[in-house]
Amino acid sequence: MVGLLIAGFVSAVLVLCAADRVLKARAQARRLRRFSDRLADAAARAEEQQEQRQAAVQASGSLTSVMPAIKRAPLLVPGKPSPGAARPETGCEPTGQGDHRSAHPGRRLSGTGEHAGLPADGPDGD
């Protein structure tokens, strides 16, 4: 009788272990399926964003091919005075707001990327 009781207890433990493994395997499969779905969604979003970027690049390229002036705005137009020369002279300027380009010829103009001492089309005339 004791032998049957021990055998029943061992078999119950084995059944519980097998059930635990089955439940863990199903949970892991469910997790993997969720991760796979999320990865597929992320890949689809990334592909859609890439297509939008390519469309924007193509649209920009077609716009600059129609309007080549968009590629590079002219800094100085030949034969026209510079934008600073058109200001009226008042005789008194507040300190710190004057045009210091003549005092510092090697200094860059604000935001233009060009030097004040160099012509607009480059030092070698290109």
Total count of domains within the chain: 1
Cβ(101)–Cβ(109) under 8 Å? yes
Q: How confident is the model at residue 117 (pLDDT cuts 50, 70, 90)?
A: low
Task: Assess if residue 85 is contained within a domain.
Answer: no
Mean pLDDT of 33-52: 96
97 contacts: CB under 8 Å, gap ≥ 6: none
- State yes or no: pLDDT of 54 exceeds 60: yes
Task: Assess if residue 6 is contained within a domain.
Answer: yes
Query: Following CA atoms 33, 34, 40, 42 in sequence, which dihedral angle do they give, to the nearest 10 degrees?
Result: -160
pLDDT more than 70, % of the chain: 51
pTM for the full model?
A: 0.40
Task: Assess if residue 12 is contained within a domain.
Answer: yes
Please give the residue range of the domain that contains residue 16.
2-62
Query: Following CA atoms 111, 115, 120, 122 in sequence, which dihedral angle do they give, to the nearest 10 degrees?
Result: -130
Instruction: Scan for tokens 């949970």, then name that residue.
Output: 27
